[in-house]
């Protein structure tokens, strides 16, 4: 990255920091430019040893002059234009609301603005929620709250931010390397300025200062390369159809195949490692791509769930093909096509960055759909060029056949795929010391990664020179890309650390250094990693048999898959004409905070002893968990309830999921895949004009309120059986009634000419109804009021379709 491009990117990251300090010292009545200039000059720039005195002076001028018109130096003009383009996202306040008070205004959640298919919050509801002015945590403080219950406290929040900045030790890479500084600065902004509005006086305060600064820095890095005449035209009119940057997208393909085609042998031990590895691989590929394209970490807008997006200068488009070719070659050599990457880009125009409130779609949304279409198309021809130049790598023949031993987990033969030989890498297949099964070196390393993820508190990133040789393990591909990773405990961190390593703290936004054994290890960032794992007394991961045996009632385990409905459309259409890069970054980061961070907290509260739940994967917007069947079911309902509150109960933002039920010896990888099929069936299920927003319980699609109803009656009936002397035969009677209903429902549904409404009307007058009345009337007189309520809800509220699931649930709990 050129020094000039680096400097303007840093100017963009720093330019509005005075707004944060201004809110904390509002009584001083000074401009935010003055606050920013003084604090940057006194507190920030003296610590940045990679800058010359001249460059420090240039940055001070950028912070002080970025709102002034006039013929300043090119770096000031570039940051001023980047700020203007980034600010094109702002939506004017409603006239009735008047102007805002920056000292007391709170940030509005992006979730409240989302609308899809006519569903969303009304304007008065949208303005009813806000965020607390508090440092980022992984507890309820990150949830929106009723606006009238909150009071801004910017002095206290600024104090935390300033203290965190000053706590960074002088030996930190952040003060010697601009890339490391950008990462540390972004981490501080995300930890403390995530809830600070970028603008509040004339505009709606729905964009955070952290996201505005990141987008301005990313755009400034792209604008620097524009010719002077283009820069001048955009300064005169920043709404022109003039290309200003590339939106680059990457998509790691083969995730489902990589996770769910392994055999049952060793699946429980390696599936967690495999899922964690895919998240790390996506991050490393994004890091590799942004380094090859010569931009700072602020240009990576999003990375997670197997996808990443970044902004790059227009001039690096030719370089992108080389990056794609190198990544394709590395992944093909190491995985033989099982895991691959598509990489493409679309140009962004200045006019694409301006929002159009009230319109159903935005120009940026169109670019996003265009990029998505290119990535989908690229998947269809992913290995075309490789097949033309090296057909044997794509078409084989592969392996040696015969009696060659193979890995019992992934079925790979030794030293396969063929590309490993070109890199001098081996893939031996041999039994571990304590096991009879033969496993390849890669699958063994995934088992080790599972244990590391469960106990790691830090991630260490080191730039290395790629070198051939060695056995194929999970970090081999990362090393081939010039990056080495460790997942460390605090003890391991201290022994591993070398100067210039990037140390990332896991699941904790603090950047305090680690002081141990006379050594100080600086931390330059934080990352959220879903790592809740059931642990035995000796520190090993619990097996599926133990999870099944630990269930309440029947000794079964369950797999759970959940995700956000219509997420792609929410990204491209949900904000309508208000879509912007900052709002997009806020939305994706908010989802990551919940699914990659807060989900750990939910599991901890439900399973404090770490005996029943195993969070195998959670990234972006979806998750896979396994565990004791009753604990998994409780987790699904808790996630739905908490996410609804997190998304301000916006009807446009919903979850669907599915959970399967299995004997302890059922293969885990098959259980996970089956849960995925149940989830898809829930999304495809329609009832009363509603699609998605549903949960598939052991093969029965339910609306979430039906699941709540079933849980309520499950708890009541279970209590009757346990405490009130009701015989278990009562449960089997309910199951018989449910079977009678299901049969007549199926019979009527097959008759031609009957509408769904007519089927519902006729089914109510069949034998099941009279049997229900008879069975319930024979039970205890003391329970008759509750039984009459159950009868009413089954018949008049159409809960009868849930009765079979309810009976099975009670039977499992009381077996």
Domain co-membership, 155 together with 287: no
Looking at the fold, whether 716 and 814 belong to one and the same domain comes out as yes
d(CA 391, CA 379) in angstroms, rounded, equals 18
Regarding whether 811 and 723 lie in a shared domain, the answer is yes
In a domain, 639, yes or no: no
Tell me: do 222 and 281 sit in the same domain.
no
* Tens digits of residue pLDDT in 387-431: 666 666 666 666 656 666 888 888 888 998 988 988 999 999 988
How many CA atoms lie less than 13 Å away from 683 in the CB half-sphere?
A: 17
How far apart are alpha carbons 80 and 77 in whole angstroms?
Answer: 5
Partnered with residue 253 across adjacent β-strands are 340
What angle (nearest 5°) sits at the alpha carbon of residue 295, between those of residues 294 and 299? 150
Domain's final residue, options 352, 382, 398 = 398
* pLDDT for the residue 404: 66
Q: Are residues 394 and 337 in the same domain?
A: yes
337: left (phi over 0), alpha (psi -120 to 50) or beta: left
| Strand blocks (E) in 613-691 | 613-619, 622-628, 655-663, 686-687, 690-691
609 lies in some domain: no
- Residues 206 and 270 reside in one and the same domain: no
Backbone torsions φ then ψ of 117, nearest 5 degrees: 55, 40
The number of residues in the chain equals 815
The string of DSSP codes covering 38-76 is HHIIIIIGGG-TTS-HHHHHHHHHHHHHTT--S---HHH
Query: Which runs of E-coded beta strand occur in 142-223?
Result: 145-146
Indicate whether 669 belongs to any domain. no
In a domain, 673, yes or no: no
| Contact yes or no for 673/616 (Cβ under 8 A) | no
Cβ distance 480 to 133 under 8 Å?
no
Going by C-alpha positions, the residue among 230, 233, 239, 235 that lies closest to residue 70 is: 235
CATH number of the domain where residue 313 is located:
3.30.70
What local confidence, expressed as pLDDT, does residue 317 receive? Answer: 85
Residue 212 and residue 281 in one domain? no
**Sites in the chain below the pLDDT cut of 50:** none
> 317-335 vs 267-293: helix axis angle to the nearest 10?
160
Structural domain contains residue 602: no
Distance CA 537, CA 267 (A): 21
Q: Please indicate, yes or no, whether the overall pTM of this predicted structure exceeds 0.85.
A: yes
Q: Domain residues for 741? A: 706-815
Q: Please indicate, yes or no, whether residues 720 and 771 belong to a single structural domain of this protein.
A: yes
In Å, how far from its chain's centre is CA 712? 31
pLDDT at 698: 96
Domain termination site, one of 382, 398, 414: 398
Residue 746 belongs to some domain of the structure: yes
Q: Which of 342, 375, 398 is the last residue of a domain?
A: 398
Q: Does 630 fall in a domain?
A: no
- Do 127 and 212 fall into the same domain? yes
| Displacement of CA 17 from its chain's centroid (Å) | 27
**In the chain, how many domains are there?**
3
Q: What is the DSSP string of 728-783?
A: THHHHHHHHHHHHHHHHHHHHHHSTT--HHHHHHHHTTSHHHHHHHHHHHTS-GGG
DSSP states of 437-481: SEEEHHHHHHHHHHHHHHH--EEEEEE------SB--TTHHHHHT
Other C-beta atoms lying within 10 Å of the C-beta of residue 217: 29
How far apart (Å, rounded) are the C-alpha atoms in residues 304 and 468? 29
Is the separation of the CB atoms in 191 and 526 below 8 Å?
yes
Q: Which two tokens stand for residue 432?
A: 């571990």
Q: Is the peptide bond before 732 cis (omega within 30 degrees of 0)?
A: no
In a domain, 563, yes or no: no
**Does residue 736 share a domain with residue 755?**
yes
Residues 87 and 209 in one domain: yes
Question: Are residues 137 and 266 both part of a single domain?
Answer: no
Please give the backbone phi and psi of residue 364, each rounded to the nearest 5 degrees, phi first: -65, -40
């Amino acid at each position: 990255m050129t020094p000039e491009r680096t400097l303007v990117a840093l100017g963009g990251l720093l330019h509005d920091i005075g707004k944060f300090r201004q809110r904390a010292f509002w009584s001083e009545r000074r401009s935010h430019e003055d606050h920013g200039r003084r604090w940057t000059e006194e507190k920030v720039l003296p610590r940045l040893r990679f800058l010359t005195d001249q460059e420090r002076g240039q940055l001070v001028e950028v912070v002080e002059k970025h709102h002034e018109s006039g013929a300043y130096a090119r770096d000031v003009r570039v940051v001023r234009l980047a700020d203007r383009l980034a600010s094109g996202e702002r939506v004017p306040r409603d006239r009735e609301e008047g102007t805002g008070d920056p000292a007391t205004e709170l940030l509005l959640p992006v979730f409240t603005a989302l609308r899809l298919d006519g569903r969303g919050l009304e304007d008065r509801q949208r303005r009813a929620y806000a965020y607390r002015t508090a440092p980022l945590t992984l507890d309820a403080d990150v949830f929106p709250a009723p606006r009238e219950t909150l009071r801004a406290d910017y002095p206290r929040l600024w104090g935390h931010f300033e203290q965190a900045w000053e706590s960074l030790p002088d030996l930190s890479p952040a003060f010697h390397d601009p890339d490391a500084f950008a990462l540390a600065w972004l981490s501080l902004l995300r930890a403390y300025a995530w809830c600070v509005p970028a603008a509040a006086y004339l505009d709606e305060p729905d964009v955070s200062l952290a996201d505005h600064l990141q987008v301005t820095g990313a755009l400034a890095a792209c604008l620097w390369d524009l010719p002077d005449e283009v820069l001048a035209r955009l300064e005169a009119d920043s709404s022109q159809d003039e290309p200003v940057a590339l939106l680059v997208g990457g998509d790691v393909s083969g995730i489902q195949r990589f996770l769910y085609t392994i055999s049952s042998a060793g699946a429980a031990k390696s599936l967690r490692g495999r899922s964690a590895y895919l998240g790390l691989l996506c991050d490393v590929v994004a890091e590799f791509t942004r380094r090859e394209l010569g931009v700072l970490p602020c240009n990576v807008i999003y990375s997670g769930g197997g996808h990443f997006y970044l902004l790059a200068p227009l001039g690096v488009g030719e370089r992108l093909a080389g990056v794609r070719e190198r990544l394709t070659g590395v992944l093909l050599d190491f995985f033989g096509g099982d895991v691959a990457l598509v990489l493409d880009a679309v140009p962004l125009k200045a006019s694409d960055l301006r929002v159009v409130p009230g319109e159903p779609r935005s120009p940026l949304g169109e670019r996003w759909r265009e990029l998505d279409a290119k990535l989908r198309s690229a998947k269809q021809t992913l290995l075309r060029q490789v097949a033309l130049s090296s057909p044997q790598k794509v078409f084989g023949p592969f392996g040696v056949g015969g009696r060659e031993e193979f890995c019992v987990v992934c079925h790979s033969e030794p030293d396969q795929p063929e590309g490993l030989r070109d890199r001098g890498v081996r893939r031996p297949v041999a039994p571990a010391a304590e096991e009879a099964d033969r496993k390849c070196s890669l699958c063994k390393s995934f088992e080790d990664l599972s244990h590391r993820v469960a106990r790691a508190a830090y991630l260490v990133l080191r730039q290395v020179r790629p070198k051939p040789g060695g056995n194929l393990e999970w970090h081999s591909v990362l090393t081939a890309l010039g990056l080495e990773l460790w997942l460390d405990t605090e003890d391991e961190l201290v022994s591993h650390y070398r100067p210039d390593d990037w140390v990332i703290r896991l699941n904790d936004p603090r950047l305090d250094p680690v002081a141990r054994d006379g050594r100080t290890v600086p931390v330059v960032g934080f990352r959220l990693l879903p790592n809740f794992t059931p642990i035995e007394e000796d520190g090993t991961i619990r097996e599926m048999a133990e999870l099944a045996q630990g269930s309440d009632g029947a000794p079964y385990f369950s797999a759970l898959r959940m995700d956000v409905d219509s997420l792609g459309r929410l990204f491209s259409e949900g904000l309508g004409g208000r879509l912007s890069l900052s709002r997009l970054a806020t939305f994706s980061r908010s989802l990551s905070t919940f699914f990659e961070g807060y989900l750990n907290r939910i599991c901890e509260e439900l399973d404090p002893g770490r005996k029943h739940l195993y969070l195998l994967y959670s990234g972006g917007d979806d998750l896979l968990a396994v565990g004791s069947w009753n604990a998994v079911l409780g987790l699904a309902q808790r996630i739905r309830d908490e996410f609804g509150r997190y998304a301000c109960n916006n009807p446009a933002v919903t979850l669907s999921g599915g959970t399967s039920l299995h004997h302890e010896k059922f293969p885990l990888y098959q259980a996970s895949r089956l849960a995925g099929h149940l989830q898809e069936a829930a999304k495809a299920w329609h009832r009363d004009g509603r699609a998605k927003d549903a949960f598939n319980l052991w093969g029965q699609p339910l609306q979430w309120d039906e699941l709540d109803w079933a849980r309520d009656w499950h708890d009541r009936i279970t209590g009757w059986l346990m405490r009130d002397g009701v015989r278990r035969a009562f449960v089997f009677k309910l199951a018989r009634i449910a079977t009678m209903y299901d049969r007549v429902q199926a019979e009527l549904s097959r008759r031609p000419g009957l509408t769904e409404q007519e089927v519902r009307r006729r089914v109510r007058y069949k034998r099941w109804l009279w049997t229900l009345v008879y069975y319930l009337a024979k039970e205890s007189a003391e329970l008759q009021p509750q039984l009459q309520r159950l009868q009413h809800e089954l018949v008049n509220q159409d809960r009868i379709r849930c009765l079979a699931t309810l009976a099975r649930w009670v039977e499992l709990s009381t077996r």
